[in-house]
Structure 1
Amino acid sequence: MNCNVFDPVDLPCGRTIENRLVKASMYEHMANFSGGPPNEFHYGLYSEWAKHGWGMILTGNVQISPQHLTLGRDIVVPPTLNAEDLKPFEKLAKVIHGAVDGTRSLAIMQLSHAGRQSANFIGGRPPFIPPLAPSSVRVGAGHAENRGRGTISDLTFHTLFQVPTEMTTLDILNVQSSFVRGALLAYKSGFDGVQIHAAHGYLLAQFMNPKSNIRNDEYSVAPENVTRMLSEIVKAIRQVVQTTFIIGIKINSADYVTSGSTEEASLEGERRVLDHIRTIASWGIVDFIEISGGDYEKPGKGALTRSTTQTLWHAAFFARFSRTVMKDLHRSPVPVSSVPLILLTGGLRSYSHLQNAMMSKHTDLLGIGRGAVLCPDLPKILRLQLQNSKSSSTWADRPFAREPEALFRASRWVPSVKLIGAGVSTAWYTTRMRDIAISQIQNPSREPPPADYNRGGLIALFKMWAWFDSRTALIWSLGIFLVPVIMTKVFYQH
């Protein structure tokens, strides 16, 4: 069975990815409360992935602002970059590079700012201090898919999410410099590159979305301004790192097109996101663009409450859109050597999916999130199967691993809050990652434990949030029953 999944590929900056398999970014929920540096749990988890030959490994989101966290236990860029601050990040980079089979995975740090999606209680700010955003538009305000969502859901949104404070020009400059500091952190600590998170409704996506950005200045969503915030960050980073330092961007196709859109609206949304991708490619300084989907307002591919029709619609749009992007970029006036690679993340659950995506030229790189949690050794398994298989066999169509069906049962307990089902899912995978980390801490040579499919979604939710010490128990108990609503898409594997 011929396929180029394990063929190397060169990035525009000159670095080589040894194969096309990418461990996509996922939120780990392992740092200290109120954010902090990576610790032994991160080292344990990433050491397992590093053993098995992933071409590139992306970290979970590293927040550039300690006042704009997602679920509290985020890794955070330190305010200074002295030798002591760099040590835990240097160790994480070394762990990711520590392959045992001769394949050295590229280590990419994902940099993020949650903007208006940084919640109360766990967002790193005193209670009810609003976050910063492009405009003072609350999460969920005015969105058609949220109308009639129910009293409980409305109350949860209003309790968790403040009306944000509109950013001043000084605020914008401060955020830009923080992204640059994050890139310097990655560069100085030995990472091979960074991925700038401009997806899933986070701050940089908010600047490019007319739902959340109603500014009238040079950072508006007018065509000449819509990517200005992102471009100024990327260009500033490129000026302070070596030319071989990798810069990637994560962009969100579902921010532009919704499942309820008319055909005309869908085409308009596709045109807008294509324009943004063309613009990013035209800069000639970006190495890869990850195409993803979903945000807190409309979880899309990550929501367990979606209908079959919605699922099929998203799948059809996603495949068609990725193919369109690939064709469009290679017809652009950008020199071939400077065209960013496309990383497709979402729905790649079997070898046949990987093969079809590559052979149909839907993507250059294959992003795998949940599959990487269920099967950390997936690249090794695929290599062995390809070597041992003399002809096309049924294994190619089998899912990499069984996905936890118990998550679907949990959602009936909270039917009025549309997003909690996705939060329960996140909790299950988060506790699975913690199991892997603890196993590797205890014995690095041991195989990680098998996935616990008897762990129900609500039990996983409890275990995720019960992992704290007595000094912070009172503060965190205030928000523990509210947080599931914002847990969808936090670790971005789709």
Structure 2
Amino acid sequence: MGTEIFSPVTLPCSGRTIANRLAKVALYEHLAKWHGGPPNKYHLSLYSEWAKHDWGMIVTGNAQVFRDHLTLGRDIVIPEVLNEETLAPFKKLAQTLHAGSSHDPPMRLLAVMQLSHAGRQSPNIIGGRKLGVPPMAPSSVRVGSHKRAQAQDIPHLFFRALFQQPREMTLDDIKRVQQAFIRGALTALEAGFDGVQLHCAHGYLLAQFLNPKSNVRRDEYSVESPNTLRMVREIVEGIRATVPRDFVLGVKINSADYVESGERPSGESVLKETQRVLDHIRTIALWGMVDFIEISGGDYESPDFMSTKATSPRQAFFSQFAQKARECLKEDFPADVNVPLILLTGGLRSPSHLQGALDAGHADLLGIGRGSIAYPDIPALLQERNLNAAAGGTSIASDDEPFGREPDGDLRLPSWVPQIPLVGAGVGVAWYNVRMRTIATSQLKKRVDGKPLPVPPPEFQMSGIDAMVRMWVWVEWRRMFLGALSVCCSISLIVLLMLLVGR
């Protein structure tokens, strides 16, 4: 039974084969230069570590298609002009991923680049725009304008300070964004990646077009049928018209945008919205152009996708939703339609979780995000446990021991810090960003024999405050800051002594 996790599967549209069901899903790295740029030595070092551990598919962190709509300031950015110079860093990343694979084509590791546009969730200053320039969005609906945030003074003020009122996109803006996504796919293709994933989740631009909370347009890009998926469909069609047939195309979609922060998914409204998203998935499947659909959820107003808790209020819901999505894709489809596979992400922390998701029909592919940062070698660990279980006459389906410890409940801000969901969730993001940078820098260092040093163990003793500081203030910056502070203190002390002597 345990071998099913390591059984190959063929993607329905591209015809590409994934060597096993394990996918390292997209994670924001925070490693590019300030205000965004191409992959650099830190990305190459980090992804070389993942590549050597037999993941079936690796999806990069979200590469932004617009330089002036970043998320947290250090995003990978798709170049505006494609030439040998601008493509070179992306080629190096694709080569790094493929070089680490233990399989030869056609079973080689699939390297997929995630494409994204932050839309209204691109913050002030670090979002890449000049001060006072608003971000673009489907409608002029500000982040934090929902009733729950407005009812709480501090979160409301926080959202107003961090996010501007967005500018509603014109039809020309929409066409420019669509072309930027197509250019992103062309970048991936020419760089040697196997495919791309469109980020239609977590409240970013494409998700904003699908969500009635953020899209109140009344034109052909409204949320009303038959316009609901027009933005995404036109991008998918544009990509498929540009790339060869064997190029992989995936979509990441939200399952629970409609659940307010802290609300448990139940009741008539949730059933209605669940059906709405299932209809989206069925419609995307009917296009016959998408290889896989990843199930996720949350946005900056309800940031459960950032949660480090072992069981968030939505986690069981995601799993159930993925099962419903897979069931709806088993319904009668035209014979010529290539039905996409379902990729389930989140909460898969042990062999029994992984095998259970497959056995229960919740998913075709198994996505691991945070766990892959703490333990990049999870596929190797799983193979070892599978062999041990077989030797003992058992199955990994009954192995519920986690792959390893995760920070989870240890990461929290002091009680005196205002309780803002986005800030609290950001502590977990910070810990994992610091962990990724630790892996990257460790692999840049060489032993005497020229091989990289072993990856250091996770720093579980790191506090929430420490994680936040270390994410934003890199080592060299901290040294510069401390040096400047030391100089300032010395000068101040000298001036004070001179004043005292002068008296």
**Fold-level similarity (TM above 0.5):** yes
Per-residue CA distance 1:205-252 (angstroms, 9 max, x = gap): 000111100100000011100100000000000000000000000001
Q: How do 1:374-413 and structure 2 match up within 5 A?
A: 374-389=374-389, 390-392=392-394, 396-405=399-408, 407-413=410-416
Work out the CA distance in 2 between the residues paired with 1:341 and 1:261.
25
The one-letter amino acid of 1:24's match is V
The residue that corresponds to 2:232 in the other structure is 230
Compute the displacement of 1:119 (Å). Answer: 0.2
In structure 2, the partner of 1:137 is 141
Which of the numbers 453, 458, 464 marks the counterpart of 1:451? Answer: 458
Tell me what 2:467 maps to: 460
User: Pick from 173, 176, 180: which aligns with 1:174?
Assistant: 176
Which structure: larger Rg? 2
Q: In the alignment, residue 235 of structure 2 is paired with which amino acid?
A: I
Q: Which amino acid is the alignment partner of residue 446 of structure 1?
A: L
Question: Which residue number in structure 2 is paired with residue 362 of structure 1?
Answer: 362
Matched, 1:294 2:301: no
Q: Decide whether the 8 Å contact of 2:306 with 2:429 is kept in 1.
A: no
Moved more, 335-344 or 43-52: 335-344
In the TM superposition, residue 413 of structure 1 has moved relative to its aligned partner by: 4.0
> Unpaired segments of 5 or more residues in structure 1?
475-494
The worse-fitting range, judged by mean Cα deviation, of 321-330 and 243-252 is 321-330
Q: Report deviation, 1:291.
A: 0.4
Shift of 1:469: 6.7
Encode CA deviations 1:76-95: one digit per residue, 9 max, x unaligned.
00110001111000000011
Q: What residue in structure 2 maps to residue 89 of structure 1?
A: 90
Give the structure 2 partner of residue 23 of structure 1. Answer: 24
Q: 1:131 to 1:445 in 2, by over 3 A?
A: same
1:118 aligned residue: 122
Structure-1 separation of matches of 2:213 and 2:2: 45
Q: What is the alpha-carbon distance in structure 2 between the residues aligned to residue 100 and residue 77 of structure 1?
A: 25
Greater displacement, 258-267 / 55-64: 258-267
Give the counterpart of 1:303 among 298, 307, 316.
307
Segment drifting more, 445-454 vs 311-320 = 311-320
Task: Note the aligned Cα RMSD (angstroms).
Answer: 2.1
User: Structure 1 pair 337/355, CA: closer, same or farther in 2 (3 Å)?
Assistant: farther
For residues 46 and 240 of structure 2, what CA distance do their matches in structure 1 show?
30
TM-score, normalised to structure 2, is 0.89
Cα pair 1:256 1:273 within 8 Å, conserved: no
> Which residue is 1:9 aligned to?
9
The 2-side partners of 1:101 and 1:321 are apart by: 34
**What SS class does the counterpart of residue 6 from structure 2 fall into?**
coil
Alpha-carbon separation, structure 1, partners of 2:148 and 2:423: 16
Q: Distance in 1 between matches of 2:38 and 2:475?
A: 17
Whole-angstrom CA distance in 2 between matches of 1:59 and 1:209: 25
> Tell me, what secondary structure is at the counterpart of 1:5?
helix
The residue that corresponds to 1:202 in the other structure is: 204
**Distance in 2 between the 1:237 and 1:294 partners?**
26
User: How far apart are the structure 1 equivalents of 2:112 and 2:218?
Assistant: 35
TM-score (norm 1): 0.90
- Residue 411 of structure 1 deviates from its aligned partner by 4.9
After superposition, the C-alpha distances for 1:100-125 in whole angstroms (9 at most, x for unaligned) are 53373100000000000000010000
1:253-332 aligned within 5 A: 253-258=255-260, 259-260=263-264, 263-303=267-307, 311=311, 313-332=313-332
Structure 1 residue 445: deviation in Å? 3.6
Q: Tell me, yes or no, if the aligned pair for 1:207 and 1:226 is still in contact at 8 Å.
A: yes
The structure showing larger relative contact order (alpha-carbon pairs under 8 Å, at least 6 residues apart) is 1
Counterpart for residue 333 of structure 1: 333
Instruction: Report the Cα offset of residue 201 of structure 1.
Output: 0.4
Q: Which one of 414, 421, 424 corresponds to residue 421 of structure 1?
A: 424
Q: Structure 2: any 5+ residue segments left out of the alignment?
A: 482-503
Match of 2:489 in 1: none
* In 2, Cα distance between equivalents of 1:72 and 1:469: 17
- Shift in CA distance, 247/428, structure 1 to aligned 2, threshold 3 Å: same
Q: How many residues align?
A: 467
Contact 1:411–1:421 (CA under 8 A) maintained in structure 2: no
Aligned to 1:433: 436
CA distance in 2, matches of 1:424, 1:195: 26
Amino acid at match of 2:304: G
- The SS at the match of 2:61 is strand
2:57 corresponds to which residue?
56
Does structure 1 conserve the Cα–Cα contact (< 8 Å) formed by 2:264 and 2:314?
no
| One-letter amino acid of the structure 2 residue matched with residue 300 of structure 1 | D
Identity of aligned residues (%): 54
Tell me how far apart the structure 2 counterparts of residues 464 and 370 of structure 1 sit (CA, whole Å). Answer: 16
| 1:246 aligned partner | 248
Write the distance in 2 (CA, Å) between the matches of 1:374 and 1:440.
15
Distance 1:442 1:413, change over 3 A: farther
Alignment deviations for residues 53-106 of structure 1 (CA, whole Å, 9 cap, x no partner): 000000000000001000010000011000111100000001111125337310
The answer as to whether partners of 2:304 and 2:425 remain within 8 angstroms in 1 is no
Of the three residues 147, 154, 157, the one matched with 1:155 is 157
Instruction: Return the offset for 1:438.
Output: 0.6
* C-alpha contact 2:306 2:426 (8 A) present in aligned 1: no
| Aligned residue number for residue 107 of structure 1 | 111
Whole-angstrom distance in 2 between the partners of 1:187 and 1:325: 29
